[in-house]
Amino acid sequence: MQRGRNSFPRGWAARAALLATVFPALVCAQIPAADTRNTITPGTNTHFTAAHPPSLAVWEMRRARLREQILSAAGLNPLFVRTPLDAQIYGRIVHKDYTVEKVLLETLPGLYLGGNLYRPVGKAGPLPGIVSPHGHWDYGRLENTAVASVPGRSINLARQGYVVFTYDMLGYNDTIQTPHDFGGPEEALWSFGPYGIQLWNSLRAVDFLVSLPDVDAKRIGATGASGGATQILGLQAVDERIRWSAPVNMISFIMQGGGACENAPGLRVGTSNVEIAALMAPRPMIMVSDTGDWTKNTPVEEFPAVQSIYQLYGQPGNVETVRFEAQHNYNKDSREAVYRFFARRILGDTRGDAVVEKPFHPDKPNDLLALQGRTLPANAVNLAGLFEEWKAMSRQQIASLDDAALREVLRAAVSIEWPDRVEEAAAPGGIVLGRPGAGDRIPAVWKAGARPGTTLVVDEEGSAHALRSPEGASAAQSGAGVLAIDAFQTGAAVAPRDRSGEFFTTFNLTDDANRVQDILTALRYLELKGPGPITVVARGRAAVWTLFAAAAAPIRVRLDADASAFFGSEREFREQFFVPGILRAGGLDTALRLTRGER
């Protein structure tokens, strides 16, 4: 993983040791000569490297943080209320050794998910269940080619003794109320996008499967390939009900996903799909790969990295790998590898290579489509209606949280932390501050005072301008210590930063989020300087940065930051303070509430 800009809302004491281990490239220089937030801007095709946590305790802390990060990026922190699915199961087709039915689920009020339910004939329940998203095949869950057959694997798994639910990605087959890929700056502010909705649909798919009387809720597996595997990685990371997993041709250090449904803002800040896959540990998982796509290195790179996490639990044998000579696929070879893994792990079947795929003949597409000859229910919403519903649910949820929970939600949304330590080094004209192992560099001027208390002065044009301002001059004359900083991309911290990469905010914090972090780092520096009240003085845009920093800080500060010109509209957040997820976390109302501000 390329750099350590992570938020650890709990367990501060272990954070420095963790960063030094997870991000070893940055350990040798605590405060680098150039801010790595400018010089290292990873993207979906960056070649990431493995992390090696030193202990299970350190990994467990990291694991909790990553789960929170995934949910926050998905817009599901906290999770929405699970409303009734009102499952419609109909159109049953009976074959000799399996049946298939159409399914329509209401996963959110007015949002419908289509799928098919495959069940074995003549096997007594309760039976293990498998959730199976389809990935980016042209025909979605109806794809039936030599490269990938979703009905083929579903039929064979049902024959082998599983209840299988295969369901749509957005914009495919029956799930047509939104496009597949969508979103812009406004949606990002609310963490509203295809990744989060599909993760929610996957959670609801598990809800549906475990509700069936013929399914054993304690024996649930998951499998999918390509974009379907991306869904599985997120699902298994946040839902412990997934006890066995078979992600196919997706876990990679060299490619992280190619569409909006795989690249929510904030999802992979400081991490990659390999570490996300390791969140399955110690539950059994097989990593299926091939020589013709981005999983070509799995046996020598990705698998050892994931297995090292399983080793922390003392169960390295619970993760397996197999690679085939093929292009990107979920073909017969890959499917049979998954059948054997599930048979051995779930069913206790020791026949090994005797577990093979039997010939199959999928039903006609029109017989599998849930909406063939039907229309969506009358309450179905379109994309705009769903977005408005998302906003309303978010506002209601945020209003119900207590201050401590709300502060955690805000920190996760902005991907910021309260550092355990702050490094300080001398620099021409002042000092530089930074978090151990994080690679950040904050130019600053520190003037010690004769009386208790300190003042942090922040200006959108940097420290020199801050100290020349009436507020800065007054602080300097007060007799208390004064710290003025060049927050990210201000004053002496202005530097080239390549923001042109596709899905930039999936892997990198925005400038405004980094500014909030720098202010938090400065506040922590002042707290560590010694006892006494801390005052923060800021004007203009910097007043907004400091308002949110003060809201996220675990200490009380005296805030002298006139943000009254900022009313918290969507347009203002887009143009003046762009941080994905900030409105999902309550926006300006959250900041004012946590600082006890009044408007």
Which amino acid would we find at residue 558?
R
Instruction: Give the pLDDT band of residue 158 (cuts 50, 70, 90).
Output: very high
Structure tokens at 431: 């000092």
pLDDT for the residue numbered 535: 95
Q: How are beta strands 423-427 and 111-120 bridged, if at all?
A: unpaired
Among 349, 373, 393, residue at a domain's last position: 393
CB contact set of 261 (below 8 Å; sequence gap of 6+)? 169, 170, 180, 181, 193, 194, 195, 198, 227, 230
pLDDT for the residue numbered 271: 97
pLDDT for the residue numbered 162: 98
Note the maximum CA span of the chain. 89
Question: Is the domain of 274 the same as that of 414?
Answer: no
Alpha-carbon distance of 579 to 587, in angstroms, equals 10
pLDDT: which is higher, 4 or 159: 159
pLDDT for the residue numbered 14: 36
Question: Is the domain of 313 the same as that of 271?
Answer: yes
pLDDT for the residue numbered 586: 98
Give the Å distances, CA to CA, from 397 to 75, 81, 384.
12, 9, 20
Q: Is residue 142 part of a domain?
A: yes
Backbone angles phi and psi of 168, in degrees to 5: -80, 150
Does 16 have pLDDT greater than 80?
A: no
Among 393, 416, 445, residue at a domain's last position: 393
Q: Is residue 238 part of a domain?
A: yes
CB contact set of 32 (below 8 Å; sequence gap of 6+)? 26, 434, 439, 441
Question: Is the domain of 459 the same as that of 411?
Answer: yes
Instruction: Give the pLDDT band of residue 451 (cuts 50, 70, 90).
Output: confident
Query: How wide is the angle at C-alpha 287 spanned by C-alphas 246 and 298, nearest 5°?
Result: 160
Question: Is the domain of 428 the same as that of 533?
Answer: yes
Q: Is residue 69 part of a domain?
A: no
Does 13 have pLDDT greater than 60?
A: no
Alpha-carbon distance of 484 to 431, in angstroms, equals 10
Mean pLDDT confidence for 27-47: 88
If we measure between CA atoms, which residue out of 595, 439, 437, 587 comes closest to residue 514? Answer: 439
- Lookup result for tokens 């475990």: 210
Q: Is residue 566 part of a domain?
A: yes
Question: Is the domain of 132 the same as that of 281?
Answer: yes
Q: Which helix (H) or strand (E) holds 108?
A: strand 98-108
Instruction: Give the pLDDT band of residue 554 (cuts 50, 70, 90).
Output: very high
Instruction: Give the pLDDT band of residue 531 (cuts 50, 70, 90).
Output: confident
What is the average pLDDT value for the chain, to the nearest integer? 93
Does 47 have pLDDT greater than 90?
A: yes
Mean pLDDT confidence for 509-538: 95
Mean pLDDT confidence for 330-351: 97
pTM of the entire predicted model: 0.94
Mean pLDDT confidence for 483-506: 97
Could you give the percent of the chain with pLDDT greater than 90?
Answer: 90
Q: How are beta strands 534-538 and 215-225 bridged, if at all?
A: unpaired
Question: Is the domain of 371 the same as that of 508?
Answer: no
Cα torsion through 417, 275, 221, 246, rounded to 10: 160
Beta carbons of 520 and 527 less than 8 angstroms apart: no
Helix (H/G/I), strand (E/B), else coil: 302: helix
Q: What would the pLDDT profile of 384-423 be if each residue is shown by its tens digit?
A: 999 999 999 999 999 999 999 999 999 999 999 999 999 9
Beta carbons of 311 and 102 less than 8 angstroms apart: no
Q: Tell me which of 80-84, 474-478, 491-495, 522-526 is least confident.
A: 474-478
Alpha-carbon distance of 403 to 142, in angstroms, equals 47
Instruction: Give the pLDDT band of residue 475 (cuts 50, 70, 90).
Output: confident
Does 161 have pLDDT greater than 70?
A: yes
Instruction: Give the pLDDT band of residue 23 (cuts 50, 70, 90).
Output: very low
Among 375, 393, 411, residue at a domain's last position: 393
Full DSSP string of 142-207: G-BSSSBBHHHHHHHHHHHT-EEEEEPPTTSTT--SS-SS---HHHHHTT-SHHHHHHHHHHHHHH
Question: Is the domain of 195 the same as that of 167?
Answer: yes
CB contact set of 71 (below 8 Å; sequence gap of 6+)? 77, 78, 79, 238, 412
pLDDT for the residue numbered 51: 85
Backbone angles phi and psi of 340, in degrees to 5: -70, -40
pLDDT for the residue numbered 596: 87
Question: Is the domain of 211 the same as that of 288?
Answer: yes
Does 184 have pLDDT greater than 50?
A: yes
Give the Å distances, CA to CA, from 370 to 117, 348, 365, 593.
11, 34, 10, 46
Q: Is residue 55 part of a domain?
A: no
Q: Is residue 62 part of a domain?
A: no
pLDDT for the residue numbered 123: 93
Q: Is the dihedral of CA 41, 486, 7, 545 positive or negative?
A: negative
Query: How wide is the angle at C-alpha 173 spanned by C-alphas 170 and 174, nearest 5°?
Result: 80
Tally of CA atoms within 13 A in the half-sphere of 341 that contains its CB:
28
Q: Is residue 262 part of a domain?
A: yes
Residue 464 lies in domain? 12-39+401-594
Instruction: Give the pLDDT band of residue 476 (cuts 50, 70, 90).
Output: confident
Range among 5-9, 14-18, 85-89 rated most confident: 85-89
Does 121 have pLDDT greater than 90?
A: yes
CB contact set of 315 (below 8 Å; sequence gap of 6+)? 281, 282
Q: Name the DSSP letter for residue 380.
A: -
CATH number of domain containing 318: 3.40.50.1820
Q: How are beta strands 111-120 and 163-167 bridged, if at all?
A: antiparallel
Q: Which helix (H) or strand (E) holds 482?
A: strand 481-485
Does 598 have pLDDT greater than 80?
A: no
Alpha-carbon distance of 599 to 588, in angstroms, equals 10
Question: Is the domain of 405 the same as that of 304?
Answer: no
Instruction: Give the pLDDT band of residue 10 (cuts 50, 70, 90).
Output: very low
Question: Is the domain of 482 the same as that of 346?
Answer: no
Total domains, the chain = 2
pLDDT: which is higher, 27 or 539: 539
pLDDT for the residue numbered 7: 31
pLDDT for the residue numbered 281: 98
Mean pLDDT confidence for 156-172: 98
Q: Is residue 92 part of a domain?
A: yes
Question: Is the domain of 450 the same as that of 366?
Answer: no
Structure tokens at 549: 């920093």
Question: Is the domain of 278 the same as that of 294?
Answer: yes
